[in-house]
């Protein structure tokens, strides 16, 4: 009996999306083929289960969930418990209720630790997290954390770690994003996501500094981070983006140095202003501020000559 239920459940997972509309209200049964739900007797557990599947396949997700839950309450020790719990999560997912889907899958893992469905359930949780990230980025973080907690070295763990970084980045929590990407490099250094994380760390730092008044130290770290990526992956898929990020950091650093030079000019401290302007010209020659600094130096030189 249990074997048949698992076969039925896996078939439903595969076929809910692809089933033809003409059969949307029918359910497959190995012994009898397609079954008309109208002929099912809800007083019989197996047939009520098929009826709930029919509701889900007909996109009546809320009704399907209620039927699965009713079965769990009425028959708490039957072989139908595990497939019912799984299909509650799947129904929530198809209804776009991703957090509820995740919670339903978690209840299944709590009820059946070590179940043969663990890998499939974690994959479904991951899909729920990715879908939720598009709507509520920070709401997906705890999903990815939980998947890693279930299997820290499993195949989904690096994917979850990088998705956490992406979720924080999408929510403009750039410091948390950098931390998440850094943790991926520390925990999963051989992951296929390592080059991507190496690029996203300085990009996150750059975005932090774009929102601040002054912090040259972190800007310098962002600059070094882009340099590290370019050095390690000169022909990498993100090399051009890294070069642009490097240039953007230099532009921002040069701009802030120029603002400091202007501050000293307003304070009539000519020598300090010249030091900063010369530093911009020499350290950031490929920025727009280098040319502007040279123009200002030339202007100050003319003034100095005129005064003599």
Report pLDDT digits (tens) over 174-213: 999 999 999 999 999 999 999 999 999 999 988 887 666 5
Q: Which residues contact 162 (CB under 8 A, 6 or more apart)?
A: 180, 181, 184, 191, 193, 196, 197
Locate the DSSP E strands across the chain: 27-29, 33-35
Q: Which residues contact 2 (CB under 8 A, 6 or more apart)?
A: 79
pLDDT value at residue 69: 94
pLDDT value at residue 161: 98
Q: 47 falls in which pLDDT band (50, 70, 90)?
A: confident
d(CA 65, CA 242): 48
Which pLDDT tens digit goes with each residue over 219-233?
A: 888 889 999 999 999
Which of the residue ranges 9-18, 43-52, 221-230, 284-293 would you say has the lowest mean pLDDT?
9-18
pLDDT value at residue 56: 85
pLDDT value at residue 11: 43
pLDDT value at residue 100: 97
Q: Which residues contact 79 (CB under 8 A, 6 or more apart)?
A: 1, 2, 5
d(CA 139, CA 278): 48
Three-state secondary-structure class, residue 70: helix
pLDDT value at residue 52: 85
Q: Where are the domains of the chain?
A: 1-95
Integer CA distances (angstroms), 124 to 56, 61, 87, 113, 164, in order: 17, 17, 11, 16, 17
Q: Is the pLDDT score of 10 beyond 70?
A: no
d(CA 97, CA 91): 9
Q: Is the pLDDT score of 303 beyond 80?
A: no
Q: Using a pLDDT cut of 90, give the percent of the chain over it.
A: 56
Which H/E stretch holds residue 141?
helix 141-150
Q: How does DSSP classify residue 213?
A: S
Average pLDDT over residues 255-272: 85
pLDDT value at residue 206: 83
Provide the Cα torsion 5, 11, 15, 19; round to 10°: -70
Can you state the angle between helices 45-57 and 61-74, rounded to 10 degrees?
Answer: 160
Average pLDDT score over the chain: 84
| 294 vs 206, more confident | 294
d(CA 295, CA 277): 10
| 61 vs 307, more confident | 61
Give yes or no for a contact between 67 and 51, defined as CB atoms under 8 angstroms apart. yes
Q: What share of the chain is helix, strand, coil (3-state, %, to 5)?
A: 75, 0, 25
Provide the Cα torsion 106, 11, 21, 36; round to 10°: -100
Q: 40 falls in which pLDDT band (50, 70, 90)?
A: low
Q: Using a pLDDT cut of 70, give the percent of the chain over it.
A: 82
d(CA 5, CA 292): 74
CB count in 10 Å sphere of residue 70: 14
Q: 13 falls in which pLDDT band (50, 70, 90)?
A: very low
Q: 49 falls in which pLDDT band (50, 70, 90)?
A: confident
pLDDT value at residue 29: 43
Average pLDDT over residues 289-302: 90
pLDDT value at residue 257: 86
Which pLDDT tens digit goes with each residue over 231-240?
A: 999 999 999 9
pTM here?
A: 0.70
Query: Among candidates 5, 100, 17, 16, which has minimal Cα distance to 46?
Result: 5
């Amino acid at each position: 009996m249990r074997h048949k239920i698992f076969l039925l459940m896996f078939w439903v997972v595969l076929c809910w999306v692809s089933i033809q509309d003409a059969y949307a209200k029918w359910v497959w049964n190995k012994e009898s083929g397609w079954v008309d739900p109208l002929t099912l007797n809800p007083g019989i557990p197996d047939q009520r289960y098929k009826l709930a599947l029919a509701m889900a396949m007909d996109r009546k997700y809320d009704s399907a969930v209620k039927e699965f839950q009713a079965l769990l309450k009425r028959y708490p020790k039957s072989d139908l418990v595990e497939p019912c719990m799984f299909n509650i999560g799947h129904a929530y997912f198809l209804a776009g209720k991703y957090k509820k889907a995740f919670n339903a899958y978690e209840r299944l893992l709590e009820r059946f630790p070590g179940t043969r469905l663990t890998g499939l359930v974690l994959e479904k949780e991951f899909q729920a997290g990715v879908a939720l990230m598009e709507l509520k980025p920070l709401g997906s973080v705890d999903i990815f954390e939980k998947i890693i907690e279930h299997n820290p070295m499993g195949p989904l763990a690096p994917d979850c770690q990088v998705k956490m970084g992406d979720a924080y980045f999408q929510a403009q929590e750039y410091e948390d994003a950098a931390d998440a990407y850094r943790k991926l490099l520390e925990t999963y250094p051989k992951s296929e996501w390592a080059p991507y994380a190496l690029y996203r760390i300085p990009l996150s730092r750059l975005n932090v500094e774009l929102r601040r008044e002054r912090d040259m130290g972190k800007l310098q770290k962002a600059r070094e981070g882009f340099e590290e990526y370019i050095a390690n992956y000169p022909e990498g898929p993100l090399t051009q983006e890294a070069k642009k990020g490097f240039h953007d950091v230099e532009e921002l650093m040069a701009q802030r140095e120029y603002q400091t030079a202007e501050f000293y000019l307003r304070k009539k401290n000519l020598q300090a202003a010249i030091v900063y302007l010369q530093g911009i010209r020499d350290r950031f020659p490929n920025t727009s501020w280098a040319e502007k600094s040279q123009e200002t130096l030339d202007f100050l030189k003319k003034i100095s000559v005129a005064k003599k």
